[in-house]
Amino acid sequence: MSKTGVLFGRLMRHILRSPDTIITVAMLPIAMMLLFVYVFGGAMKPSLGENVNYVSYMLPGILLIAIASGTSYTAFRMYEDREKGIFQRFASMPIPRSAALWAHVLTSLVSNMITVAIIFAVALLMGFRSSAGILEWLAAIGILALFTLTLTWVAVVPGITAKTIDGASAFSYPIIFLPFISSAFVPTETMPAAVRWFAENQPVTSIVNTVRALLNGQTVGSEIWVALAWCVGIGAAFWALAVRSYRGRGW
């Protein structure tokens, strides 16, 4: 446990010394947010209704995009540690082998929550308002943290197994794209039948709807259970895969 802490400290120092990681990760979603609100926003009004605050509407989707691109850096950092023989050094030391793995997972969680905080701050400047109480806020942050953890375990697998640096982060591209075919930016009712079916049944929609409802003080339906099931299910599957590939490989 204390060894995980030491290794976590090392990785956080990496991030603080290359703040471009956090900035790059927050930049793209913020640029998208500006684009959607100030360029497309006007055109969205008719399908959303006049009194919908579009910043608040699309913020959950933007946060998921930020987390998806943020977790790809975990795959990247793990790949580097593997390539440079750092994992090998740790594996030959009298510390639990799992410490190096958990340090990366913890780092991903903390750095992504920092990114989320930055995006919330920018959204506030752009007019995001929330009527959520403290419990709703905690629930919303909790779901975002769970989503981060899920994608982190997805990222760990290529981090351990990828043969090239590009291969390590490629997993994130389709995930970054998923929010566009979901309820994140436009209501699914406006989509053609087949696309709509996909949009309504893929994980992002249930997560976006839940976070949106929590932050906007609306009633949260059964969708929260669908969202949790997706996160826990995918996370558990990739956790098992990650642990297996981590143990199975020779250092």
Partner 1 sequence: MSAINVSGLRKSFGSQTVLDGVSFAVEHGEVFALLGSNGAGKTTAIKILSTLLPAGGGTAEVCGFDVAKQARKAREAISLTGQFAAVDDILTGRENLILVAKLRGVKNPAQAADSLLDRFGLTDAANKRAGTYSGGMTRRLDIAMSMLGSPKVVFLDEPTTGLDPDGRLEVWKTVKELVGSGVTVLLTTQYLEEAEQLADVIAILRGGKIIVSGTLDELKKLFPPAKKEYVEKQPTLEEIFLAVTGREGK
DSSP, res 250: -
Residues composing the chain? 251
From candidates 36, 73, 76, 90, binder to partner 1 by CB under 8 A: 90
Stretch that binds partner 1, among 6-14, 149-157, 208-216, 227-235 (CB under 8 A): 6-14
Stretch that binds partner 1, among 79-87, 152-160, 190-198, 214-222 (CB under 8 A): 79-87
Q: Does 57 bind partner 1 (CB under 8 A)?
A: no
* Start-to-end CA span in the chain (Å): 22
* Nearest-approach distance from CB 4 to partner 1, in angstroms: 10
Report the candidate in 138, 133, 139, 169 with the shortest Cα–Cα distance to residue 154: 169
The encoded tokens of residue 9 equal 């400290």
Q: Does 18 bind partner 1 (CB under 8 A)?
A: yes
Nearer CB in complex with partner 1: 45/249: 249
Stretch that binds partner 1, among 33-41, 81-89, 212-220, 225-233 (CB under 8 A): 81-89
Query: What is the 3-state composition of the chain as percent helix, strand, coil, each rounded to the nearest 5?
Result: 80, 0, 20
Rounded to the nearest 5 degrees, what angle is found at the Cα of 139, between the Cα atoms of 137 and 140? 65
Report the candidate in 2, 1, 103, 59 with the shortest Cα–Cα distance to residue 211: 59
Q: Does 3 bind partner 1 (CB under 8 A)?
A: yes
> Residue numbers of the site for partner 1 (CB under 8 A)?
3, 6-7, 10, 13-14, 17-18, 84-86, 88-95, 250-251
